[in-house]
Amino acid sequence: MSAVAVEGVWKFYGDFPALRDVCLTAEQGACLALIGRNGAGKTTLLRTIAGFSRHGKGEIRILGTSPRETETRRHIGFIGHGISVYDELSALENLTLYARLYGLANPRKAALEWLERTGLERVRDGLVREFSRGMRQRLAVARAFLHEPSVLLLDEPFTALDDRAIAVLQGLLRDGLAQGRTIILSTHQLREALELASHVALLIRGQVAFHGPCTPEMVADPGLVYARYGED
């Protein structure tokens, strides 16, 4: 059983097919890098896999079940374009809130632990409104990892991160992969992503143009996939 299986998925905005017959799989412990130009459907695909919006035809299975099942959602971690934490609440309050929503046994303990792992323990009672951009991003990462998800869906995780946050995130992702978590991330920062990735998928206009293992030559020349499988 694949950790994530996308089978023949179509997603429509009105009549416009944003995703066309997308088939992808990611085995447990794999890291799949979704690449493609703006508007190719990377965000739509990740949001559809995460179960944020219903798709048309096709089937999506995460750990063998639908992403809309409550139980499945316990195992998914998601980072989108926004940081998904509340400006009016403190870092600790935000993380405790999500720990409660995920039904963790000891919400406060989990929250404190992740504040420490992302280097935010010093500002734990500061309101997010007063945080710098890098701190906000690190908090977003902590929020997504808090419930120890076995499938991580990350939409452009490196964009807008400062160096420290990139280091924190890459460290966490490496640890996660070593622990057998599955990661799907979309990105424009090919180098950062390909260093981590075990597999690569290229999306062009909502279709998968290439899906396969990430080879050393791709890492050496990040433009290779585009050059070989892109249209121009």
Partner 1 sequence: MREKLLYGAGLAAFLLLARNILVIADLPGEAAQGAIFKIIFFHVPAAWTAMVAATAALTLSILFLKTKDFRYDAAAVAVTEVGLAFLAANLVTGSIWGRVIWGIWWTWDVRLTSALVCWLLYAGYLMLRHAIEEPTQRATFAAVFSIFAFIDVPIVIFSIRWFRTQHPGPVFLSSTGSFPHDWTMVLLWNWVALMLLASILGAIRLGQEETQREIDYVRRMAHAL
Partner 2 sequence: MEFARLVFVIMAKDLRAELRTKEAVNASFAFAVVILVLLSFVVESNDVPLPVLGGLLWLVFAFAGTLVLNRSFAREVPNDCLDALIAAPISGAALFLGKALANFLLVLVVELVALPVFGIFYNVRWTQQFWQLMLVVVLGTWGVTVIGTVFSALTVNIRLREVMLPMLTYPMLLPALLGAMELTGSLVTGAPIGPETVTWLKLLIGFDVLFTAASVTLVEFILVG
Give contact residues for partner 2 (rule: CB under 8 A). Answer: 50-54, 68, 70-71, 73-74, 76, 78, 80-89, 93, 97-98, 100-103, 127, 143
Q: Show the tokens assigned to 230.
A: 């892109």
Nearest to 161 by CA among 184, 188, 198: 188
The DSSP line for 149-192 is: -SEEEEESTTTT--HHHHHHHHHHHHHHHHTT-EEEEE-S-HHH
- Out of 47, 74, 124, 205, the residue judged to bind partner 1 by CB under 8 A: 205
Nearest to 19 by CA among 221, 201, 222: 201
CB count in 10 Å sphere of residue 63: 19
- Binding letters toward partner 1, positions 52-91, x by CB under 8 A: -xx-x-----------------------------------
3-state secondary structure of 71: helix
Nearer to partner 2, 58 or 230 (CB): 58
Nearer to partner 1, 20 or 117 (CB): 20
Question: Closest distance between partner 2 and the C-beta of residue 229, in Å?
Answer: 30
Tell me: does residue 14 bind partner 1 (CB under 8 A): yes
Strands laid side by side in the 4-13 sheet:
16-26, 4-13, 59-62
Question: Closest distance between partner 1 and the C-beta of residue 30, in Å?
Answer: 29
101 binds, among partner 1, partner 2, none (CB under 5 to 8 A by kind): partner 2
Q: Which residues bind partner 1 (CB under 8 A)?
A: 12-16, 39, 53-54, 56, 205-206
